[in-house]
């Protein structure tokens, strides 16, 4: 089952982002670790990791304290 990221703006509404899919949760998390700064710079405030249609978790892209 493929893993992917969903992207949300500061208002919580979906925003466009890379349509990457990954074979494992670890691969998806590694990718977001490398690209989160670019996504945040493009207006993505929160990402949600999904396996098919099930959301595993959400997290903000801004470092704590910002």
Q: Supply φ then ψ for residue 39, to 5 degrees.
A: -65, -45
What is the average pLDDT value for the chain, to the nearest integer? Answer: 94
**What phi and psi values does residue 56 have, to the nearest 5 degrees?**
-75, -50
pTM of the model: 0.89
Q: What does the domain layout of the chain look like in residue ranges? A: 1-9+24-55
* Residue among 30, 40, 5, 35 at smallest CA distance from 20: 5
Q: Which two tokens stand for residue 43?
A: 């207006």
Judge whether 62 and 16 are in contact, CB under 8 Å: no
pLDDT-based confidence at 1, cuts 50/70/90? confident
Distance CA 42, CA 45 (A): 9
């Amino acid at each position: 089952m493929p893993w992917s990221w969903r992207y949300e703006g500061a208002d919580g509404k979906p925003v466009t982002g890379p349509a990457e899919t990954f074979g494992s949760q670890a691969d998806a998390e590694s990718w977001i670790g490398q690209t989160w700064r670019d996504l945040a710079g493009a207006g993505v405030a929160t990402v949600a990791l999904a396996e098919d249609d099930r959301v595993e978790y959400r997290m903000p892209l801004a470092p704590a304290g910002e």
